[in-house]
Amino acid sequence: MADQDDTRREAARRRGPLMAAGAIGATLGGAALGLGLVWVAGGIDTVPALLVLGIGAAAGFGLLRLRDRPGILPPEPSTNGPLDLDGAMRVSLESVLAVVERLPDPFLLIDAEGRVRLSNGPQHPIIAAALPGRHVSAALRNPEVLDAIAQAQRDGRARAVDYVSPVPYEQHILAHVARVRVGLPRRVEGAVRHDLTQAVIVVLHDLTALKRAEQLRADFVANASHELKTPLASLTGFIETLRGHARDDTEARERFLAIMLDQAGRMRRLIDDLLSLSRIELNEHVAPAGRVDMARLAETVVEAVTPLAEEERVDVVTQVSPEARAVIGERDELYQALQNLVDNAIKYGGDGGRVEITVAPAAPDALAAPRPGMMAVSVRDHGSGIPREHVPRLTERFYRVDAKRSRERGGTGLGLAIVKHIATRHRGALEIQSREGEGTVVTLYLPAAPPAPAPGTAA
Ligand SMILES: Nc1ncnc2c1ncn2[C@@H]1O[C@H](COP(=O)(O)OP(=O)(O)OP(=O)(O)O)[C@@H](O)[C@H]1O
Ligand SMILES: [Mg+2]
């Protein structure tokens, strides 16, 4: 906060002379306008009056434009006012500034005294405080980076420092530090001199997305192995028991074999889901081109879940809008997605007694629909709902609200992650809305297929 205040104060201080220049320009312009009006009133030609007016205004605006480059003022900061730069120098500086301004990564040039001489701070909030003339420690607070800058200045060796910047939000940064010999303009006894001097450049590279991906991958491997290890340990345990004291116990053997079959099934489901996920991810860049009638697909899903629905005493009903159209998609993937949603609604929301599948055009104000004119396939249950804080995380791999309950019901925690990838591959979207105590609606938005040609017409 204090930093931002400093930055604002500094910027205001720098704007002071600019505003003065503007004021002078405006005064000149105003005077010229007055003079022009007097001339016109006095019957004198208006051309010279307009000429004076133009020069006045141009002087003001020209001065403003040249100096109004927040964060990038290269000459040595001086208490004696700005430096006068000759034309050639100005052109080269403007070129360097234009390049620095457009660099995609935050950049700083630091002189031997540790002061910022050049930066693209205004474009990059992480170095917003890197105003020319300020000490680098005002912009970069990490001691290791500051140390690297000082060492590079001393020994000329380039280095890279990996650190976490807490402001403006937590970012993993790799700072590249290197010494360069550059000409920096300075004022010596009233004149401008351009001496070659040792400076240090710092380029900050944002590694946050990379680190996050790395973490996700590590978590994924850890979770997948954990999920496989549990049934495997159970299988091994039962095999040992069957070879040991249960060897001749027929009743125990039957019971244990049933459990083993169940555990093996769980491992198979997990492997199937993992393979599904990687296959869908692999094909994500290729949008499916088939045509799928979602109303008919919903009926097939209802048939497939009937045993589960009966067991849980849940009615599964389908409502199809007369405006419902086919979608562009791959049937097997859409079947897998819808089955998972209905399966979840029965397993986790079945206490509401009823699950509704709706196929209809997406509402025009549906925020989650990526484009207008999409179809919406919703699965609604009237169960206990999902606490708010869990909803955004449900599509993460292995994320479950109640891991024990999910496992007991044979869940792998990969279902919604798969559905999300299927939606993405179809250039659609997945939306989860839930209210505790009222139930959950999960909607799959999919691109509508063009109307089918009437039978008998040429395609
Ligand atoms: N309709 C629902 N009502 C309440 N909770 C739900 C609902 N749908 C999903 N959940 C919660 O979201 C979690 C993640 O669902 P997801 O489908 O990804 O995994 P799963 O059902 O546990 O396993 P799988 O789908 O692989 O069998 C579930 O474990 C459950 O806690
Ligand atoms: Mg599921």
358 pLDDT band, cuts 50/70/90, is: very high
- Token pair 């509508």 is found at 448
Q: Using one digit for the tens of pLDDT, what is the confidence trace for 96-145?
A: 888 988 999 999 999 999 999 999 988 898 898 888 889 999 989 999 99
- Distance in Å, CA 416 to ligand 1 centroid: 7
What is the Cα–Cα distance from 51 to 32, expressed in whole angstroms?
Answer: 9
Percent of the chain with pLDDT over 70: 80
Mutation probe of ligand 1 site: the residue of 228, 275, 348, 390 with most atoms within 8 A of C-beta: 348
Q: What is the pLDDT of residue 405?
A: 81
Q: What is the pLDDT of residue 68?
A: 41
Q: What is the pLDDT of residue 85?
A: 67
Ligand 1, residue 273: give the atom nearest the CA.
26
- Residues 13 and 154 grouped into a single domain: no
Q: Is residue 164 part of a domain?
A: yes
Q: Is residue 430 part of a domain?
A: yes
Q: Is residue 103 part of a domain?
A: yes
- Distance in Å, CA 422 to ligand 1 centroid: 16
Q: Are 132 and 77 in contact (CB under 8 A)?
A: yes
Q: Using one digit for the tens of pLDDT, what is the confidence trace for 413-455?
A: 999 999 999 999 999 999 999 999 999 999 999 999 998 777 6
Q: Are 436 and 385 in contact (CB under 8 A)?
A: yes
Token reading at 386: 């999902």
Helix, strand and coil in the chain, % to nearest 5: 50, 20, 30
Mean pLDDT, the chain, rounded, equals 83
Q: The domain that contains 310 carries what CATH number?
A: 3.30.565.10
Q: What is the pLDDT of residue 48?
A: 52
Q: The domain that contains 112 carries what CATH number?
A: 3.30.450.20
What is the Cα–Cα distance from 71 to 370, expressed in whole angstroms?
Answer: 39
Helix axes 294-312 and 331-349, enclosed angle (nearest 10): 30
Q: For the chain, how many structural domains are there in total?
A: 4
Alpha helices in 159-293 (DSSP H): 208-243, 250-282
- Residues 275 and 323 grouped into a single domain: no
Q: Is residue 414 part of a domain?
A: yes
- Domain of residue 315, residue span: 286-451
56 pLDDT band, cuts 50/70/90, is: very low
Token reading at 244: 């040991």
- Residues 308 and 429 grouped into a single domain: yes
Would the CB of 349 count as within 6 Å of ligand 1?
A: yes
Would the CB of 411 count as within 6 Å of ligand 1?
A: yes
- Residues 327 and 228 grouped into a single domain: no
Which residue has a Cα nearest atom 9 of ligand 1? Answer: 344
- Residues 62 and 172 grouped into a single domain: no
- Residues 271 and 242 grouped into a single domain: yes
- Residues 50 and 83 grouped into a single domain: no
For residue 133, what is the DSSP state?
Answer: T
> Among the three residues 282, 314, 331, which one is the final residue of a domain in this structure?
282
- Residues 226 and 374 grouped into a single domain: no
Q: Is residue 172 part of a domain?
A: yes
- Distance in Å, CA 341 to ligand 2 centroid: 7
Token reading at 49: 């009056």
Would the CB of 276 count as within 6 Å of ligand 1?
A: no
Q: Is residue 304 part of a domain?
A: yes
Q: Using one digit for the tens of pLDDT, what is the confidence trace for 211-254?
A: 988 988 888 899 899 889 989 999 999 999 999 988 889 999 99
- Residues 397 and 330 grouped into a single domain: yes
446 Cβ contact list (under 8 Å, min separation 6): 294, 327, 328, 329, 334, 374, 375, 376, 377, 423, 426, 428
Percent of the chain with pLDDT over 90: 57
71 pLDDT band, cuts 50/70/90, is: very low
What is the Cα–Cα distance from 43 to 412, expressed in whole angstroms?
Answer: 92
Better-predicted residue by pLDDT, 82 or 189: 189
| Rounded mean pLDDT, 60-65 | 40
Ligand nearest to the CA of 269: 1
Mutation probe of ligand 1 site: the residue of 344, 356, 404 with most atoms within 8 A of C-beta: 344
| Rounded mean pLDDT, 270-296 | 93
Q: The domain that contains 218 carries what CATH number?
A: 1.10.287.130
Ligand 1, residue 439: give the atom nearest the CA.
3
Q: Is residue 307 part of a domain?
A: yes
Q: Using one digit for the tens of pLDDT, what is the confidence trace for 107-120?
A: 999 999 999 999 99
- Residues 101 and 217 grouped into a single domain: no
Tell me how far apart the terminal alpha carbons of the chain are, to the nearest angstrom. Answer: 65
Q: Using one digit for the tens of pLDDT, what is the confidence trace for 7-49?
A: 445 444 544 444 444 444 444 444 444 444 444 444 445 555 4
Q: What is the pLDDT of residue 456?
A: 61
- Residues 23 and 109 grouped into a single domain: no
What is the Cα–Cα distance from 454 to 459, expressed in whole angstroms?
Answer: 9
Q: Is residue 87 part of a domain?
A: yes
> Among the three residues 282, 316, 341, which one is the final residue of a domain in this structure?
282
What one-letter code names the amino acid at 9? R
- Residues 199 and 215 grouped into a single domain: no
Helix axes 415-425 and 250-282, enclosed angle (nearest 10): 20
> Among the three residues 282, 301, 333, which one is the final residue of a domain in this structure?
282
Ligand nearest to the CA of 400: 1
